[in-house]
Amino acid sequence: MLAVKVRGVASHSDTHRVARSLVLGLLGRARGGVIELREPGGGVVRLGRPSDDPLHAVLEVRSPAFYRRLVRGSSGLAEAYVDGLWTSPDLVTLIRIGARNGEAMDRPRRLLRPFVAPVRAVGRARNTIARSRKQISAHYDLGNDLFALFLDERMMYSAAIFPRPGATLEEAALHKIDVVCRRLDLQPRDHLLEIGTGWGALAVHAADEYGCRVTTATISREQHDLAVERVRAAGLDDRVEVVLDDYRELRGTYDKLVSIEMIEAVGWKDFGTFFARCSELLAPDGLMLLQAITTSDRAYDVEKGNRSFIATRVFPGGCLPSSKVIARCVDGRTDMRAIAVHDISGHYAETLRHWRERFDARRDELPALGYDERFARLWELYLAYCEAGFRERRIRDVQVLLAKPQWRGEAAAMAGRADALEAA
């Protein structure tokens, strides 16, 4: 196609040149690392600035259309990767450089927020029970065989805790489950409520090893059915009940409550509702452990209205809370108080490394399960994106222990700082 201008309209080539100039200008200001950008035709451009802890990454552009996509932010970046317009031999390092420049990238979005937020708010309705079921199904009901490819044998889809360097993923996943049970000070007399079943690993372990009763709730049909099978196989039908209920549908009173990385699917408009409901379900002397992926307060103000590729193509409707948002909801909507906070972000980076490497090692099995190359590339980017975020502390993972007014226990988690929630 000839590059021409018709009646003042920019040609395809002009658009490409402008987009390329914008992208190179943006990447050229990056600090904390150097990006070696390899363009079609053999051209190489070195961008960025090294630091005391420099990173080096290669970005291979396979099509000039990459530049126009990248102007649209993370969604454009992801679409371009899924379409094969660019690649990198080390996605994690490349995204880590981006994470190191996150504050600078957020600044213009914060300035624009007062103008775009009202428009986006119209499309960001509350997560009703029906909408939540649909959104959860879009991710967790993709198929148990998919998750079995890269998770540990218990299929724990949350940060593991590695008891020592060199521990296997299986050891770390089991150790995390046991840490949760000990921090909750589970006793045989307790009735534990779990909001967010996963595939039943924590419920089975708590009932089998600590002798308590467990009610565990999920709104994923795939997870529910496999969890029921695992409870039955463990011979724990009399102590574990798996229910297909939203947290807003739960009734009863429980001694202990646990929710592991489920709050990210609640939606920012309903964080207060979630904590209020948890408090209502707990006995006056109850204890709750929340494990949550969090973002900074400044990033939260941007992300809650942002349509990133993870919020649209991986976890529809999801939003990460900030620690201050959690603190405000606990103080304003419940009678609970935070008694301990533990930051396990480093463990999540290592967990994601294991998941990413396992996913890559079994990638050739995806077509037989019905997943095409575009899906594989999307999930490859998703896992690398999250790992990079945790390695650079762009996002964090915390375990928060919350107590009701009449709790007088001495749980193992009291070793944590009781005043650390907002600081976390």
pLDDT in tens, 192-234: 999 999 999 999 999 999 999 999 999 999 999 999 999 999 9
Asked if residue 355 has pLDDT above 50, the reply is yes
Asked if residue 6 has pLDDT above 50, the reply is no
Question: What is the C-alpha separation between 146 and 369, in angstroms, rounded?
Answer: 7
- Residue 251 has what pLDDT? 97
Residue 400's beta-bridge partner residues? 290, 341
Asked if residue 3 has pLDDT above 70, the reply is no
Q: Which residues contact 401 (CB under 8 A, 6 or more apart)?
A: 183, 184, 287, 288, 289, 338, 339, 340, 341, 411, 413, 416
Helices (H) and strands (E) in the chain, counts: 16, 11
Nearest to 388 by CA among 416, 349, 340: 349
pLDDT in tens, 381-407: 999 999 999 999 999 999 999 999 999
pLDDT in tens, 312-347: 889 998 899 999 999 999 999 999 999 999 999 999
- Residue 102 has what pLDDT? 77
The secondary structure of residue 321, as a DSSP letter, is P
High-pLDDT (> 70) share of the chain, %: 88
Asked if residue 376 has pLDDT above 50, the reply is yes
Q: How far is CA 114 from the centre of its chain?
A: 26
pTM: 0.90
Mean pLDDT for the stretch of residues 294-312:
85
State both tokens at 59. 């970005």
pLDDT in tens, 33-86: 999 999 998 999 999 987 777 899 999 999 999 999 988 888 899 999 999 999
Considering only residues 3 and 266, tell me which one the structure prediction assigns the higher pLDDT: 266
Nearest to 291 by CA among 163, 413, 180: 180
Mean pLDDT for all residues in the chain: 89
Segment (H or E) for 349: helix 345-361
- Residue 301 has what pLDDT? 85
Question: What is the C-alpha separation between 234 and 121, in angstroms, rounded?
Answer: 46
Mean pLDDT for the stretch of residues 267-282:
97
- Residue 179 has what pLDDT? 97
At residue 311 the predicted structure's pLDDT band, cuts being 50, 70 and 90, is: confident
Active site residues: 386
Nearest to 307 by CA among 124, 79, 122, 86: 124
What's the CATH number of domain 129-415, 3.40.50.150, 3.50.30.50, 1.10.3210.10, 3.40.50.620? 3.40.50.150
Q: Which residues contact 345 (CB under 8 A, 6 or more apart)?
A: 390, 393, 395, 396, 397, 398
Domain spans, the chain = 12-100, 129-415
Which range, 6-10, 63-67, 121-125, is most confident?
63-67
Give the count of alpha carbons within 13 A of 314, CB side only: 22
State both tokens at 78. 């992801």
- Residue 281 has what pLDDT? 98
State both tokens at 242. 């798996």
